[in-house]
Amino acid sequence: MAQTKYIFVTGGVSSSLGKGIIAASLAKLLQARGYRTTIQKLDPYINVDPGTLNPYEHGECFVTEDGAETDLDLGHYERFLNVNTSQANNVTTGKIYQSVIEKERRGEFLGKTVQVVPHITNEIKERIQILGKSGDYDIVLTEIGGTVGDIESLPYIEAVRQLKWDLGEHNSLVIHLTLIPYLSAAKELKTKPTQHSVKTLMESGINADILVCRTEHELSDEIRRKLAQFCNVKQEAVIQSIDASTIYDVPNLMLEEGLDTITLKKLNLPDDTPPDLTQWNQFLQRHKNPTAEVTIGLIGKYVELQDSYKSILESFIHAGAENEVKVTIKSIHSEFLDVDHQNSVINSLDGILVAPGFGERGIEGKIEAVRYARENKLPFFGICLGMQMAVIEYARNVLNLKDANSTEMDESTIDPVIDIMENQKNITQMGGTMRLGAWDCELKEGSLIEKVYGKTQISERHRHRYEYNYAYQEQLEAAGLISSGVNPQTKLVEVVELKDHPWFIGVQYHPEYKSTVATPHPLFIDFIRAAKVFSQKRK
């Protein structure tokens, strides 16, 4: 079996330069040449996983098929590569230390003093190689979070230095992503921050093999020469990454710059098959040339930060391209949505999506939005908490259970239409009560949701704690809120829809986690189709 090759992507100068997008774009190009490729993310924070992080801190938490709560970059990896990631694709410092401490408690280190080198670094090296040793991949890309020089990332950089030595020549390379700032006063691009960043990496014993330079202006040959000379890389290995109108342009930009060619050359791999990006470019073509436009209201409580709903926003891009529609998203903060305000805001929309979330802030605004969509036949899509809001709204305004609520918002509600199920009640640890990862769902024949999927058996990813309380199912069904999707093992309701409404669906799971460029999610595709119909009728 051929040796798995490893590519490490580090960042310097500033965070948020787009290491995830560069890693995903390079992986896409290598995959399009026929190499079996995957990407993992090493996060230097001490949380065990991002599951308990506020979305304002770190953007959304992405959930994999096997139920790992991971960094949002894994979402980019899946959307670009159309390959599922897993528990092994996201490693945090919290996980590393937890594992090492557990081994020490079990006596596995035979009384040795446990230290950062070699114990922590060995653990990191092991985690990096799990995917490579599975035999499923020719190339593993590893993105290291944070920036070079951070105290937190030092053990990771040291582990990479050792691993490069262990793996031998041509089996690994380091791509360093930096910023070339433009000083408007001097009207010039500055290379000094990059030089410093590369030197910091060298002080840790690592030479960058390829430099990817984020910039707002084209890099001249002179600047490339200067960077090559001062940073110890070949000139052809100085790659420009200029601001793009969409992240989906980046693979083509990296192809033009020859990032994949220089990578294969340095890894001593054949470069005789040009990348096949036919399907990718067809998607881009549709995305950039829409024939219609719809405006969707995204109603949530973290709307100030784009990254909080990253997967949902990307799913709209995929579904928009599929329908040849430009989807304009209007972010609406549910906390400030009351009856008067909402009619002026919502009546200009072609559909609303009530977003997932935790806690009671902004709940009444979401319920009002659901009521408006139900009464005015506006296409409505509720995800997770959004679905629960639809159940509460229906119970309150149609069944007249005026105090209906979720026990998450009001523990003493007399009508807990949303509740924690009995078998979850005795779990005390935050991460433990969640229903996570892929679960099966059976769809009712003849329902709208069955028509959307075109089948009755589906599997979708979950991330929630509270459930539709089946004690109320009979009453709600009799009043017209259909339970059209049920989990076959637990009998928990997963999907609700309305009979006499053009498009009203609430799902307990997170369809946005499974939408990719190659396979846009059917629910998003159909929701945008319904919004397009609504928009045309209104005009």
Q: How far apart are CA 512 and CA 62, in angstroms?
A: 10
| Residue-wise DSSP of 16-53 | -S-HHHHHHHHHHHHHHTT--EEEEEEE-SSSSSGGGS
Q: Catalytic pick from 176, 287, 462, 510?
A: 510
293 is in an annotated binding site: no
74 is in an annotated binding site: no
Q: How far apart are CA 326 and CA 348, in angstroms?
A: 16
- pLDDT tens for residues 368-384? 889 999 999 999 999 99
**How high is the pLDDT of residue 427?**
45
Q: What's this model's pTM, rounded to 2 decimal places?
A: 0.91
193 is in an annotated binding site: yes
- pLDDT tens for residues 256-286? 999 999 999 999 999 988 999 999 999 999 9
Q: How far apart are CA 160 and CA 174, in angstroms?
A: 9
Active site residue 384: yes
446 is in an annotated binding site: no
539 is in an annotated binding site: no
Whether the upstream peptide bond of residue 118 has omega within 30° of 0, thus cis, is yes
Q: Catalytic pick from 257, 384, 450, 467?
A: 384
Active site residue 510: yes
- pLDDT tens for residues 456-502? 999 999 888 888 888 888 999 999 999 999 999 888 899 999 988 99
Q: How far apart are CA 444 and CA 441, in angstroms?
A: 10
Beta strands in 273-379 (DSSP E): 292-300, 325-333, 351-354
Active site residue 512: yes
Q: Among 351, 358, 333, 478, which residue's Cα sits nearest to residue 418?
A: 358
Arithmetic mean of pLDDT, 165-191: 92
310 is in an annotated binding site: no
Assess contact for 177 and 17: CB atoms under 8 A. yes
Evaluate if residue 451 carries a pLDDT over 60: yes
**How high is the pLDDT of residue 431?**
46
Q: How far apart are CA 311 and CA 62, in angstroms?
A: 8
The C-alpha R_g of the chain, in whole angstroms, comes to: 25
Average of per-residue pLDDT values in the chain: 89
- What single DSSP character describes residue 410? -
Q: Catalytic pick from 60, 158, 314, 512?
A: 512
**pLDDT > 90: percent of the chain:** 63
244 is in an annotated binding site: yes
Q: How many Å separate Cα 307 from the centre of its chain?
A: 9
Arithmetic mean of pLDDT, 401-424: 81
34 is in an annotated binding site: no
Residue type, 509: Y
Evaluate if residue 390 carries a pLDDT over 70: yes
